[in-house]
Amino acid sequence: MNDWSPESWKTKAHAQEVKYEDTAALDAAVARLRELPPLVTSWEIEKLKGLLADAQLGKRFLLQGGDCAETVADCRSSVIASKLKILLQMSLVLVHGAHKPVIRVGRFAGQYAKPRSKATETKGDVELPSYFGDLVNRPEFTAQARRADPNLLLSGYQHAALTLNFIRSLSAGGFADVHHPEYWDLSFFKTAGVPEALREQYEQTARRLADALRFMEALGERTVEDLTRVDFFTSHEGLNLPYESAQTRTVPQWAGWYDLSTHFPWIGERTRALDGAHVEFFRGLKNPVGVKIGPQASPDEVVRLVETLNPTDEPGKMALITRMGSARVGTALPPIIEAVKRSGRRVLWISDPMHGNTVQTSSGFKTRNFDHVLHEVEQTFEMHDALGTNLGGVHFELTGEDVTECLGGAAGITEKDLDRNYASVCDPRLNYRQALEMSFRIARWMERRKNGR
């Protein structure tokens, strides 16, 4: 790859480019980022690539989830711990449904850069730059807060490091009680609005999961240790190229270049142009990479993306994260699956049922409906089944907190609840109960599908 370097993206058209006024401060921040130690290691990245290769073959399933926009203000122990807890609980439920190991990947420790539909936001007669994530500017609607500040690149790096440090220590054994569903908050399925049949299904799944975990623990001390040690990998949208390229390095033990800001970066729907800066940057990386694929993508374009980003067809390297929307998935997804299948290329298919299902309420809240999200996942499974391919993972925007951002679920969130605790600075997330319920529904669905019902 002679014509590639960590900076070669600078010669390409750059969608969502951040315009920094103070270029000397940008250069200084990037220079400092280049010197700082990596956040993750090439060993971990290669390990994840191996697990993703298994998922491509249907031997593992991937759960990817976390905030839409991680914030520096939420770099707090309770918030991080509850995010890990919900991901872990969901993964246990999915292990139970999928009958295979689940790879846990957080949208965290670096999910600080956001692409936006509009470059500016207007309130009354004031127009300011949009909020592009804590790596770039601040959410408050003031000219000062919305200025792109290069020092936030360093702040983002530091908070990613703090987050990761805490995740690593919790991973080494801080989750013993999470293996006991009797301590989980499953009260959502006892709520009045939940149909009897659904309530029974939830109770049965929780009981069977608790039995299975007790059985594993009873097998001996070593198994308990293995259960309480939990691996989480990190991911984020590799949107801010000055940030990503400053942390892209060679390492002594392997050939090639690793983006050491995260294990598994992805390219967003708005920045995946074949001749654009992001594809140029990502095509030189050794990390596994994801690309978001929306309903406008053409089958041919998707195949060319796969060929460009993984020219050697390396196992575990390439993931396509489809986000079509529940109304369009039935028509938009099959031609893409068929084209990739015809190309013979290895990919991991992941369903992101969040990003195609965003709607705006009359009172101005961005929201998503639990049933639309579930429907997109189920339809995506069905289409892969019908076409002989394998849906190997799911991708959610979620939080471990009791927010009110998405509608529906057994917790019965309605439009009038949205302003009770709408905390996201960008898109709506499933709250703790909705996320857990989603995993119950998917697991149940996987089981029935496996049993041919």
Ligand X SMILES: C=C(OP(=O)(O)O)C(=O)O
Q: Which residues bind ligand X (CB under 6 A)?
A: 68, 115, 237, 268-270, 292, 323, 355
139 binds ligand E4P per the rule CB under 6 A: no
Across 288-382, the runs of DSSP E, i.e. the strands, are 289-293, 318-322, 348-351, 359-360, 366-367
Contact letters for ligand E4P, residues 266-285 (x by CB under 6 A): --------------------
CB atoms within 10 A of CB 148: 17
Question: What is the nearest approach in angstroms of ligand X to the Cβ of residue 296?
Answer: 11
Question: What is the nearest approach in angstroms of ligand X to the Cβ of residue 212?
Answer: 32
Q: Which does 113 bind (CB under 5 to 8 A by kind): ligand E4P, ligand X, none?
A: none
Using Cβ positions, the residue closest to ligand E4P within the complex turns out to be 117
Question: What is the nearest approach in angstroms of ligand X to the Cβ of residue 419?
Answer: 23
Question: What is the nearest approach in angstroms of ligand X to the Cβ of residue 268?
Answer: 3
Q: Which does 146 bind (CB under 5 to 8 A by kind): ligand E4P, ligand X, none?
A: none
Question: What is the nearest approach in angstroms of ligand X to the Cβ of residue 418?
Answer: 20
Q: Which does 283 bind (CB under 5 to 8 A by kind): ligand E4P, ligand X, none?
A: none
Torsion of CA 154, 159, 160, 163, to 10 degrees: 170
Q: Which of 283, 273, 297 is nearest to 14 (CA)?
A: 273
Please give the Cα distance from 396 to 359 (Å, whole number).
Answer: 16
Q: Which of 157, 129, 141 is nearest to 31 (CA)?
A: 157
Question: What is the nearest approach in angstroms of ligand X to the Cβ of residue 320?
Answer: 11
Contact letters for ligand E4P, residues 409-448 (x by CB under 6 A): -----------------xx---------------------
Q: Which of 326, 331, 346 is nearest to 296 (CA)?
A: 331
Asked whether the beta carbons of 260 and 39 are under 8 A apart, the reply is yes
68 binds ligand E4P per the rule CB under 6 A: yes
Runs of H (alpha helix) within 284-328? 299-309
Size of the site for ligand E4P (CB under 6 A): 8
Residue at 92: amino acid letter = L
Q: Which does 199 bind (CB under 5 to 8 A by kind): ligand E4P, ligand X, none?
A: none
Please give the Cα distance from 2 to 145 (Å, whole number).
Answer: 41
Please give the Cα distance from 291 to 350 (Å, whole number).
Answer: 10
Report residue 211 CA to chain centroid gap. Answer: 30
Rank residues 181 and 392 by Cβ distance to ligand X and give the closer one: 392
340 binds ligand E4P per the rule CB under 6 A: no
Rank residues 325 and 400 by Cβ distance to ligand X and give the closer one: 325
Contact letters for ligand E4P, residues 77-116 (x by CB under 6 A): -------------------------------------xxx
Integer-rounded Cα Rg, in Å, for the chain is 21
Q: Tell me how many degrees the CA angle 352-356-357 measures, rounded to the nearest 5.
A: 105
Q: Which does 117 bind (CB under 5 to 8 A by kind): ligand X, ligand E4P, none?
A: ligand E4P
Report residue 447 CA to chain centroid gap. Answer: 24
**Ramachandran angles phi, psi of 38, nearest 5°:** -65, 155
Question: What is the nearest approach in angstroms of ligand E4P to the Cβ of residue 134?
Answer: 13
451 binds ligand E4P per the rule CB under 6 A: no
Report the interface residues with ligand E4P, using CB under 6 A. 68, 114-117, 355, 426-427
